[in-house]
Amino acid sequence: MNISKSDQMIIKGISGSPGICIGKAYIVDREGVNITKRYPVSDDMVPKEIDRFKQAVSKAKNDHAKVIDSLDKDLGENLNILETHMVLFKDKLLYGKTIDTISHEKINAEWALRKVSGKVKTMFQQIDDKYLQARVIDIVQVSDKIMSYLFGAQDIKISDINKRVIIVAHDLSPADASQIQLERIKGFVTDRGGKDSHTSIIAKSLRIPSVFGLGLATTSVKNDDILIVDGSTGTLIINPDEDTLFKYEDRMARFQEYRADLERESHLPAVTKDGIALNLMANIELVEEVVAAKDNGAIGIGLFRTEFLYLDLKRFPTEDELLIKYKELVELMTPQSVTIRTLDINGDKVNPYLTTIEEANPSLGLRAVRFCLENQDIFITQLKAILRAAAFGNIKLLIPMISCVEEIIQVKQVINKAILELEHEDKIFNKDIPLGAMIEVPSAVIIAEHLAEHVDFFSIGTNDLIQYSMAIDRRNRQVAHLYQALNPAVLKMIKMTYDAAMKKGIDLVMCGEMAGDPINIPVLVGLGLTDFSMNSGAIPVIKRMIRSLDTQKAKKNAEKIMALNTVQEISEFILTEYKEILPFGETDES
């Protein structure tokens, strides 16, 4: 952190989505701000403090209920957590003890709540039970929500914001981000979060500047402070001086002009200077995103994340319900291809209506293909819907988190069961669709040649591949800086996967967020990759980058890059070698 003349403060974080915005701060989260002061209350004030606490709980609980109701028909990813919180609002340990503390110690409601929640937190942390230890987070979040009403602070109600502001929050969930209305919200910054989180993906699709992992944002910023958010470099500037303000106003105008140019060029093909055509497709989660994918020049859907159809309901969808969605998507994209990834729940996408065994490390547990193979009735239902939809268009089937050959063999056996059921039911379907394996764990890279004998294509999922390879949680601010796509180990694994696919004669596509970052494109093209799928908003930027590349030069430079040992060396090489063609905001001089 650097502090210059006047009150200007600069905090470096992690780029969430590119762009620049300037505006007033609007704080929607006060977690971690030490604004509670203990003061004694007289005997006649005790009932008033208790009543004030009860009213704060009632308001927080009612507001919470409204959120749950909205998520029933909207985004239900965190429904189970929210319902747990609803119970905690009247939990004896929190609610009852706070009232007792106000009565017996004759102190204000804020201090009593903080004191009680602190004791409960300590108590649960000392219990040798993973489930109960995890409950601490729920208690803290409920306590913070009640505290916000005691102070009259503004809680997270993104959809209710009715003025042009920049949101400052401790954290924003994907559901929060999806409420953002572009005519009101200029950008947002958070203390927590990391690169390529689901919130980042939504921010990129909205084309709204964002910076994550700032750590000090909510404690450093006050409501109505003037902020500059540079999402391209991951920088937040608080109360900028005049020189900085003028500089960024100019940069913002140039960025807007640059983006307008991109939109005008979105129809142009992704062909390099030496005439090599590359294929750029879109990653989507909802059928409604097809319009944006087409507008941005996608030549197909390289990744359709199907789990959001499941999380949107309070039950598993039926075969016919899934068929309607898949058929609609395929028909909208015909004759272009649609790659449908099978169900990838648990991990960071918890199923709100399925009772599962508590897992200490859910990302390493029963998720994705593992879940599907353990729950074959659910898996077969989805496979049957996909096979039926394939009768109406060009579908490819993609299996997530394959870690060994045995899994892909089992998957093929389940597919055969689904085919037999469809034949028995005399339904129209297409069984001759390409089968792909996602390469997103190190073991899959190591045995890629063996896996290639069982599938028609590979899809490199860099979001998880980087996370699992570097042994980091990209949502954890303390280690998020280690999430580096240009790490030499990551690049070597991509090359190993590419070499295996070429040797076995199968197709290869990269569908992780790494493909949507312009600075990565020269080395990826240099390694030989030609098929990419990304957030649709990134496609025009990547297209322009590709049209400025010479593949032969990229291949020679890739050899030099693969000999480098650190992320910094690789980044500096790319920034220097491709300085003239990197998009706006990728270099300090832009």
Q: Which of 258, 282, 306 is the last residue of a domain?
A: 258
511 is catalytic: yes
* In-domain check, residue 584: no
* In-domain check, residue 38: no
* In-domain check, residue 588: no
Answer yes or no: do 273 and 247 share one domain: no
The total number of residues shown for the chain amounts to 590
Answer yes or no: do 492 and 448 share one domain: yes
Of 492, 394, 411, nearest to 451 by C-alpha is 411
Answer yes or no: do 306 and 455 share one domain: yes
* In-domain check, residue 35: no
How many distinct structural domains can be found in the chain?
3
- Taking CA atoms, 448 is separated from 47, 412, 414, 465, 583, in Å, by 69, 17, 22, 14, 34
85 is catalytic: no
pLDDT band at 258 (very low <50, low <70, confident <90, very high): confident
Q: Which residue has the higher pLDDT, 416 or 535?
A: 416
Q: Which residue has the higher pLDDT, 456 or 177?
A: 456
For the ranges 17-26, 245-254, 521-530, the maximum mean pLDDT occurs at 521-530
| Residue range 435-449: mean pLDDT, rounded | 98
Answer yes or no: do 434 and 492 share one domain: yes
pLDDT in tens, 121-156: 777 666 655 555 555 656 666 777 787 777 665 445
The one-character DSSP state at 275 is S
Burial class of residue 81, CB neighbours in 10 A (0-12, 13-18, 19+): middle
Q: Does 5 score more than 60 pLDDT?
A: no
**How much is the pLDDT for 70?**
57
Answer yes or no: do 132 and 277 share one domain: no
* In-domain check, residue 553: yes
Q: Which residue has the higher pLDDT, 74 or 256?
A: 256
Q: Which residue has the higher pLDDT, 281 or 313?
A: 281
Q: What's 164's domain CATH number? A: 3.50.30.10
Answer yes or no: do 51 and 179 share one domain: no
Q: Which of 126, 151, 176 is the last residue of a domain?
A: 151
Contacts of 462 (CB under 8 A, 6+ apart): 440, 485, 490, 494, 510, 512, 513, 514, 515
pLDDT band at 3 (very low <50, low <70, confident <90, very high): very low
Q: Does 245 score more than 70 pLDDT?
A: yes
16 CB-side CA count, 13 A: 37
Calpha distance 529→516 (Å, rounded):
13
Q: Which residue has the higher pLDDT, 143 or 79?
A: 143
The label of the residue with tokens 């032969």 reads 552
Q: Which residue has the higher pLDDT, 585 or 498?
A: 498
**How much is the pLDDT for 133?**
53
Domain holding 233, by residue range, is: 2-29+156-258
Q: What is the pTM of this model?
A: 0.69
Answer yes or no: do 336 and 420 share one domain: yes
* In-domain check, residue 11: yes
Tell me the longest C-alpha to C-alpha distance in the chain: 84
Q: What's 132's domain CATH number? A: 1.10.274.10
228: Cα separation from own chain's centroid: 23
Q: Which residue has the higher pLDDT, 131 or 241?
A: 241
Q: Which residue has the higher pLDDT, 240 or 118?
A: 240
Q: Does 215 score more than 90 pLDDT?
A: no
* In-domain check, residue 8: yes
Q: Does 271 score more than 70 pLDDT?
A: yes
Long-range contacts of residues 577-581, Cβ cutoff 8 Å, at least 24 apart:
577/522, 578/522, 580/548, 581/545, 581/548, 581/549
**How much is the pLDDT for 511?**
94
Answer yes or no: do 164 and 293 share one domain: no
* In-domain check, residue 239: yes
Q: Is 587 helix (H, G, I), strand (E, B) or coil?
A: coil
Helices (H), 266-404: 290-295, 307-311, 319-333, 369-374, 376-389
Answer yes or no: do 490 and 569 share one domain: yes
**How much is the pLDDT for 36?**
47
- Taking CA atoms, 284 is separated from 240, 340, 436, in Å, by 37, 10, 18
Answer yes or no: do 281 and 415 share one domain: yes
What is the signed CA dihedral for 171, 174, 178, 183, rounded to 10 degrees?
30
Q: Which residue has the higher pLDDT, 146 or 297?
A: 297
Task: Average the pLDDT over each of 45-49, 265-269, 275-279, 446-450 and give the range with the smallest value.
Answer: 265-269
Answer yes or no: do 343 and 455 share one domain: yes
Q: Which of 258, 283, 314 is the last residue of a domain?
A: 258
Three-point CA angle 124, 214, 172, nearest 5°: 65
**How much is the pLDDT for 352?**
46
Answer yes or no: do 544 and 444 share one domain: yes
**How much is the pLDDT for 1?**
37
Q: Does 465 score more than 90 pLDDT?
A: yes
Q: What's 452's domain CATH number? A: 3.20.20.60
Q: Does 283 score more than 70 pLDDT?
A: yes
User: Which residues does residue 238 pair with via DSSP β-bridges, in sequence order?
Assistant: 9, 227
pLDDT in tens, 524-578: 999 999 999 998 888 999 999 999 999 999 999 999 999 999 999 999 999 999 9
**Active-site residue (options: 198, 267, 450, 454):** 198
Q: Does 74 score more than 50 pLDDT?
A: no
Long-range contacts of residues 132-136, Cβ cutoff 8 Å, at least 24 apart:
134/358
Contacts of 403 (CB under 8 A, 6+ apart): 441, 443, 444
